[in-house]
Amino acid sequence: MIIHHPLLGPRDAQEFTYLGDASLIDRPDWQAEHAVDRFHDYLYLRDNPAGEHRELWFHEVGDRSWLVVTRNTLTHEITSVELARDVARSRGRSK
């Protein structure tokens, strides 16, 4: 596969390490009510769609960026690649 890195252009997927669903960005608040349950759902449950999937890839042998790649799990077609940090900020994460 080829991942079009937003900063570095097309790169072979072999340069990357895969983590999983981009929802792993949405780490719950440790002080929220039922925090254990929330963390359980966050860490263990997955949509696991057959189709479009937003997922985290780490440019391990590249610039060490975490990327959010939108890829179809049926065809492997990639439709967008974003810096995970930008995605995280857009989802309200800060410090």
- CA angle, 31 as apex, 86 and 82 as ends, to 5°? 10
Nearest approach in angstroms of CB 8 to another protein is: 15
Binders of another protein among residues 56 to 95 (CB under 8 A) are 56, 58, 60, 64-66, 71, 73-78, 83-85, 87-89, 93-95
67 vs 33, 78, 81, 84, CA distance in Å?
31, 12, 7, 5
E strand or H helix that includes residue 87: helix 84-90
Q: Of residues 5, 7, 8, 30, which one binds another protein by CB under 8 A?
A: 30
Give the integer Cα–Cα distance in Å for 35 and 18: 27
**Which residues here bind another protein, judged by CB under 8 A?**
1-2, 13-14, 17-21, 24-25, 27-28, 30-31, 35-37, 39-41, 43-50, 53, 55-56, 58, 60, 64-66, 71, 73-78, 83-85, 87-89, 93-95
